[in-house]
């Protein structure tokens, strides 16, 4: 398994590098990415874009991954120079709208990572939507200071 895992990760990386968009129903999940984790930090954050091309609103209500013990949906706000991170019960995607999960805003927080996230790793993440149901996406790991997907 120790040998197999890096090989699997590499294969995943090669197969998903070109196609990072996933569809479920009327939802398009685009460019899921995370930053490499610095040092032994056991937390990470996943960012992505959810486009709702349907006539009805939907809501991201949960996420899970085999590489972390717990996954939470968070928002991040800065008020008067103080950063506050708070769990949210879901992230709404109205009909025809796009929800952006990006640094400084909503993110999917990974807690108690089983291993550090290293640049170029790819890992699976299952998203659960209120109406569309569950969908698995592949998350691409960028550099420790990445500000968007693909860097």
Partner 1 sequence: MRLYRIAVAIGSLCLFAIAAVVYGWYQTEYLGGNPLSAPAIGGPFSLVDDNGNAVTDQTYRGKWLLVYFGYTFCPDACPTTLNAVATALTALGPDAERVQPLFITIDPDRDTPAVMKEYVAAFDSRIVGLTGSPEQIAAAAKAYRVYYQRIGGGSDYTMDHTVLLYIMDPNGRFSGFLSHDQTAEEIVQKLKSLF
Q: Which residue has the tokens 């290293």?
A: 118
Q: How many residues bind partner 1 (CB under 8 A)?
A: 31
Site for partner 1 in 68-87 (CB under 8 A): 70, 72, 76, 78, 81-86
Minimum gap (Å) between residue 93 Cβ and partner 1: 21
> Which positions from 25 to 64 touch partner 1 by CB under 8 A, shown as an x/- string?
----------xxxxxxxxxxx-------------------
H/E element, 119: none
Q: Which of 109, 125, 137, 141 binds partner 1 (CB under 8 A)?
A: 109
Strand partners, 25: none
């Amino acid at each position: 398994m120790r040998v197999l895992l890096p090989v699997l990760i590499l294969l995943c990386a090669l197969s998903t590098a070109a196609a990072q968009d996933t569809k479920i129903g009327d939802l398009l999940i685009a460019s899921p990415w995370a930053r490499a984790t610095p040092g032994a930090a056991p937390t990470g954050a996943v960012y992505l874009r959810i486009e709702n091309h349907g006539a009805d609103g939907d809501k991201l209500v949960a996420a899970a991954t085999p590489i972390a013990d717990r996954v939470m949906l968070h928002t991040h706000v800065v008020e008067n120079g103080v950063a506050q991170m708070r769990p949210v019960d879901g992230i709404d995607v109205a009909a025809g709208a796009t929800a952006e999960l990006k640094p400084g805003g909503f993110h999917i927080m990974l807690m108690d990572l089983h291993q550090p996230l290293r640049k170029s790793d790819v890992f699976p993440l299952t998203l659960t939507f209120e109406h569309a149901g569950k969908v698995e996406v592949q998350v691409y790991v960028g550099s420790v200071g990445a500000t968007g997907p693909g860097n």
